[in-house]
Amino acid sequence: MKDFDVIVVGGGITGAGTARDCALRGLSVLLIERDDIATGATGRNHGLLHSGARYAVTDRESAAECISENMILKKVARHCVDDTSGLFITLPEDDLAYQATFVESCHAAGIKAEVIDPKEALKMEPSVNPGIIGAVKVPDGCVDPFRLCSANIVDAKLHGAKIALRSEVVGFIKEGDTVRGVKVLDRSTHQVTDYYARVVVNAAGIWGHHIASLAGVNIGMFPAKGALLIFAHRVNGMVINRCRKPANADILVPGDTVCVIGTTSTRVPYEECDNMRVTPEEVSLLLSEGAKLAPCLEHTRILRGYAGVRPLVSADNDPSGRNISRGIVCLDHESRDGVKGLVSITGGKLMTYRLMAEIATDTVCRKLGVEATCQTAKLPLPGSEGGGLEKIAKKIWDVPTTAQKALVGRFGAGAAHLDFGEDKGGVICECEEVTVAEVDAAAEYLDVNDLVDLRRRTRVGMGTCQGELCACRAAGRLAKANGCASKARNDLKAFMRERWKGMYPVAWGETLREASYTQWVYSEVLGLNED
Amino acid sequence: MRFDTVIIGGGLSSLVCGIKLQKAGERCLIISAGQNALHFSSGTFGLLGRLPDGSEVSEPMKSLSFLPEAHPYSKIGVDKMTEYVAGVPDFFESCGVRLHPSPRSGELGMPVNGYRVTPMGSFKPGWLAMDEVTLLQSKDDISWSRALIVNFSGFLDFNAGFIAEGLSRRGVECRVEAVTIADVENLRRNPTEMRSIGIARVMGKESNWKEFGSKVRELVKGEDLVILPEVFGLGDPVIIQWLREMIPAEVMFVGTMPPSVPGIRTQMRLKKSFEAAGGTFLQGDTAVDPLVENGRVISVHTVNLGKLSLSADNFVLASGHLFGKGLEATPSKVYEPVFGLDTDFPSDRKAWCDEDFFAPQGYDGYGVVCDELFRPSIEGRMIENLYVVGSEVGGCNSLYEGSGAGVAIMTAMSVADSILAGR
């Protein structure tokens, strides 16, 4: 079939959420992604489930969106969310007077914000800087963006959506001023195919600027690079923020077995968006500011650095982009530019994706004259149905092992459907406790093409060893699943290069030590660099 | 406590130096923190596989003159290198470690690089190989037409598919099979036990390797090559020979993911040989708090022994490179943590690493600054009775050159000679 009600461009969280919402409302959907799911900003942020407190003072609208979505995701995406709660701390160098304004603004936006005694805060979160002079507790949390994106894709597919990964939109099919479809390059076969739809939704993040230009429309965007560092330990249990106007490196978010400090905000040219690299200056800034939040970071091993590009829509002349609203922008290009059949959904945040999808889908439905209400605020994502993770694990296994609990953490209730046959119990990734069963399931059901895709679905290679041994095991398993060892071998090379890209900017101490071992194994022992 | 020589580090260079000294009548102590490069060995020792400019080396001794002056081999000099290299097989043989060269041996036993099939199905040059490892004359020295590759069911650290792909590119038709035996199945109940060393322990039992061998024998259907993972003969390599005799085809063993069974066997045998010669091996301890006076090391301490000081006439530092913690790196420097020896590295951190994972990495060549006799210095002052051996010696990118084992053995021999000459 090449004819759809809606084509969604972009396999990030916004595109995935929009495809799911459209499919749930009975529309026929094709999602087109040029690479893999969650390759852009979706997979390159803090993984922070904002309470909205960060924006309460400066951006009331975003703050209100955040707290409302925060509460929704804690229900419908519970297997992707860790409800840690968060602290906004005041350091001696910060103005304590800001705290009152902050709390007041939080309350006005509907965010529960509780001033607590600094000593109490230290008890709640022992990693926090002991020098704090003020602390406010807010309902922040963390969210696994890969899992969230994958769950949306899975549910979209369950409701009939077609997903085309490694497929790039190279042009629009237009009749006069009406968009009728898109020309899509299959990046594996290099063939271009025409796909038709009554509405095309541009949900390509920062690349949405380019997509819109292909349709002859200009969206003035502001590519704001944000760099982050991942540490090898989860030093903090709660999210730690600075209680001040949003600035660089003032959020420390725990996630799974690690924690993440970020971000910076720098305008970058569009051409650089495809290859973001973390600079030494950014590393120094993140480290020195991070240590102010949690001093132990100074001695904690850094796993890697990475950077994403926020798809902000430019407003005024703001060199860093800090003052641009993180709010949602939905553009109907018919009313805005006279181009019919094209909608762009951009701005927003990872954790407001559901609302973005709802707004985009509402617009689509209005255009198509479809009356169907949005269900995503109530309907749990696959994996989040019923009970907590412990409960789900106990339903499947009498006494779940830690690997099985980790599995439920990633697949939610879906873990029950995995094949645990005779050959599947082996552990591929010891850091993240990923089993053969899980890797096979990802290869079979989750559109995994290579090791990097597999990492996004299963966390293989995301742990402290950064893929030292598991990458090779997983490559062997994928070679089996795909029946092509030479591809798996090249994928393994690409995977090791990709892992190194993140370690390179922080290559000293334990990180360099681990890298030197990995280089020994892959060059000397495996000879992966030889033919 | 007093020794003639105290050696810090327990890997290849330490053991070679210690055995040589101990056999010459020196009383030696080795302080070993734990694992070392032998545990992650490729099953071969490399002397020189590639020159710093990237050109491949076939006969390492003929290429020595192309090495820079700061290279450890250049410090030892061609004459001594020739003497040491020729003596290596016998030296190891006397320690119970049998090493064999490439079938294309050079004149007067001078080394010619052979090629090992890697776990990824590619080919790596090597000088001497451990018991089970096959060294081919060249990358094209493939005379087999059909290969049977046998793995253990559920063993993830040996990927037959990659080896099959590598060999089939060279015209060998490959078939992959998996077998299992009861004791290995038992290992699988705890998934993290299914690693090379776990299987090797199980396969040490006679009934097990015999059962495995006969299952493989039944699988052979006219193949002229059978490939098995390197998980046999951990305690006694004779099992490798018996398996070769049982199976009606040529048997080649190919490496697994670490840990390395041949490497660990070699380490165990060298350690045993050192102890049999009367040496003291301190396992699981770390040297700290050295006392250095007037350009001489007087004593060191260890974490476990606390106040007890270990004094000696000579000290040898063999604690490895970054991975062995013989060197440590901060954002601004690479330093040697025990003595604070002078190190050589560029201050601009950008030069430490290449953005490409597979390119030669600058950091690999950084190390302790040494004189011709491998004596280091502290703040420019030479330490008379301290020597550095192995990967900690700066001046060569041994991973890129494929010279890791060679540098370890050659520097160890050279330093042992210097110490013995000074008696």
Size of interface A-B (CB pairs under 8 A): 152
From residue A448, give the alpha-carbon distance in Å to each of A257, A439, B172: 24, 9, 30
Closest partner CB to B162 (pick from A479, A507, A509): A479
Nearest CA in chain B to A500: B357
Inter-chain touch A476–B349, beta carbons under 8 Å = no
pLDDT, one tens digit per residue, over A273-290 is 998 999 989 999 999 999
**Number of alpha carbons in the 13 Å side-chain half-sphere of residue A342:** 31
Reported confidence tier of residue A90, pLDDT bands at 50, 70, 90: very high
Give the helix/strand (H/E) hosting A196.
strand A192-202
The predicted pLDDT at position B376 comes to 98
Q: SS3 for A118?
A: helix
Reported confidence tier of residue A411, pLDDT bands at 50, 70, 90: confident
Q: In this complex, is the C-beta atom of A519 within 8 Å of any C-beta atom belonging to chain B?
A: yes
- The answer for A 396-425 residues in CB contact with B (under 8 A) is 403, 423, 425
How would you label A284-316 residue by residue, b for 16+ Cβ within 10 Å and e otherwise? eebbebbbbbbeebeebebbbbbbbbbbbbeee
Q: How far is B22 from chain A (nearest CA, A)?
A: 31
Which residues from A are below 8 Å from B40, CB to CB? Answer: 517, 520-521, 525
Displacement of CA A101 from its chain's centroid (Å): 31
Closest CA to A355 of A11, A47, A4, A73: A73
ipTM value of the model? Answer: 0.95
Instruction: Summarize the confidence of residues A194-212 as an average pLDDT.
Output: 97
Mean pLDDT by groups of 10 residues along chain B of 423 residues: 97 98 97 94 96 93 95 97 95 96 75 95 95 92 94 93 94 95 89 89 95 97 97 95 96 96 97 98 96 97 95 98 95 96 94 94 96 97 97 94 97 98 90
CA distance B17 to B32: 14
CA distance B371 to B367: 13
pLDDT, one tens digit per residue, over A141-188 is 999 999 999 999 999 999 999 999 999 999 999 999 999 999 999 999
Residues contacting residue A323 through CB under 8 Å, at least 6 positions apart: A58, A315, A316
Closest CA to A289 of A244, A344, A348, A237: A244
- Given a contact cutoff of 8 angstroms between Cβ atoms, the answer to whether A85 and A135 are in contact is no
The predicted pLDDT at position A434 comes to 87
How would you label B106-121 residue by residue, b for 16+ Cβ within 10 Å and e otherwise? beeeebbbbbbbbbbb
Q: Which residue shows structure tokens 């009606």?
A: B248
Closest partner CB to A472 (pick from B153, B257, B350): B257
Residues contacting residue A32 through CB under 8 Å, at least 6 positions apart: A7, A8, A9, A10, A11, A164, A167, A168, A169, A182, A184, A195
The predicted pLDDT at position A323 comes to 64
Q: Which among A516, A517, A528, A531 is the top mutation candidate for probing chain B, defined by the most B β-carbons within 10 Å of its own β-carbon? A: A516
The predicted pLDDT at position B106 comes to 62
Which residues from A are below 8 Å from B191, CB to CB? Answer: 403, 425-427, 435
Which residues from A are below 8 Å from B156, CB to CB? Answer: 426, 428, 436, 473, 476-477
Reported confidence tier of residue A107, pLDDT bands at 50, 70, 90: very high
3-state DSSP: chain A helix, strand, coil percent, rounded to 5? 40, 20, 35
- Given a contact cutoff of 8 angstroms between Cβ atoms, the answer to whether B230 and B260 are in contact is yes
Inter-chain touch B323–A516, beta carbons under 8 Å = yes
Q: What is the largest CA-CA distance in chain B?
A: 72
CA distance B300 to B282: 13
**Nearest 10 degrees: CA dihedral of A143, A144, A150, A156?**
0
SS (H, E, C) A3-21: EEEEEEECCCHHHHHHHHH
pLDDT, one tens digit per residue, over A331-381 is 999 999 999 999 999 999 999 999 999 999 999 999 999 999 999 999 999
Q: Which residue shows structure tokens 């660089």?
A: A248
Displacement of CA A244 from its chain's centroid (Å): 25
Q: SS3 for B242?
A: helix
The predicted pLDDT at position B400 comes to 94
SS (H, E, C) B150-200: EEECCCCCCCHHHHHHHHHCCCCEEEEEEECCHHHHHHCCCHHHCCHHHHH
CA distance A230 to A297: 10
Residue B175 backbone phi and psi in degrees, to 5: -125, 135
The predicted pLDDT at position A431 comes to 83
The predicted pLDDT at position B209 comes to 95
Inter-chain touch A485–B157, beta carbons under 8 Å = no
Nearest CA in chain A to B403: A524
Q: How many helices (H) and strands (E) does chain B have?
A: 12, 22
Nearest CA in chain A to B140: A531
Nearest CA in chain B to A431: B192
From residue A416, give the alpha-carbon distance in Å to each of A394, A424, A438, B12: 11, 14, 11, 49
Q: Which among B167, B184, B357 is the top mutation candidate for probing chain A, defined by the most A β-carbons within 10 Å of its own β-carbon? A: B357
Closest CA to B217 of B180, B241, B245: B245
Q: In this complex, is the C-beta atom of A328 within 8 Å of any C-beta atom belonging to chain B?
A: no
Token duo for residue A197: 């739809």
CA distance B279 to B7: 11
Residues contacting residue A18 through CB under 8 Å, at least 6 positions apart: A8, A201, A203, A345, A356, A357, A360, A361
Handedness of CA A145, A496, A264, A212 (dihedral sign): negative
Inter-chain touch A517–B40, beta carbons under 8 Å = yes
Q: SS3 for B301?
A: strand
Domains in chain B and their CATH numbers?
2-102+264-421 (3.50.50.60), 120-256 (3.40.50)
The predicted pLDDT at position A220 comes to 87
Closest partner CB to B120 (pick from A427, A509, A527): A527
Q: How many helices (H) and strands (E) does chain A have?
A: 16, 22
From residue A148, give the alpha-carbon distance in Å to each of A42, A74, A80: 10, 12, 6
How would you label B152-191 residue by residue, b for 16+ Cβ within 10 Å and e otherwise? bbbbbbbbbbbbbbbbeeeebebebbeebbebbeebbeeb
Reported confidence tier of residue A85, pLDDT bands at 50, 70, 90: very high
CA distance A288 to B204: 53
Please return the burial class of A511, using the count of CB atoms within 10 Å of its CB with bins 0-12, 13-18 and 19+. buried
The predicted pLDDT at position A410 comes to 75
The predicted pLDDT at position A482 comes to 78
CA distance B364 to A104: 56
- Given a contact cutoff of 8 angstroms between Cβ atoms, the answer to whether B120 and B162 are in contact is yes
SS (H, E, C) A494-514: HHHHHHHHHHHHHCCHHHHHH
Give the helix/strand (H/E) hosting A211.
helix A208-214
- Given a contact cutoff of 8 angstroms between Cβ atoms, the answer to whether A40 and A233 are in contact is no
pLDDT, one tens digit per residue, over A431-490 is 888 888 888 888 888 888 889 899 988 888 888 778 888 888 898 888 888 788 888 889
Cβ count near B299 (within 10 Å)? 18
The predicted pLDDT at position A321 comes to 66
CA distance B4 to B27: 5
CA distance B91 to A351: 66
Q: SS3 for A48?
A: strand
Q: Which residue shows structure tokens 């000879």?
A: A527
**Number of alpha carbons in the 13 Å side-chain half-sphere of residue A527:** 26
The single-letter DSSP state of residue A399 is S
Residues contacting residue A388 through CB under 8 Å, at least 6 positions apart: A78
Token duo for residue A360: 């985009």
Per-chain mean pLDDT for chain A: 91
Q: In this complex, is the C-beta atom of A487 within 8 Å of any C-beta atom belonging to chain B?
A: no
Q: Which residue shows structure tokens 């006005």?
A: A108
CA distance A503 to A161: 37
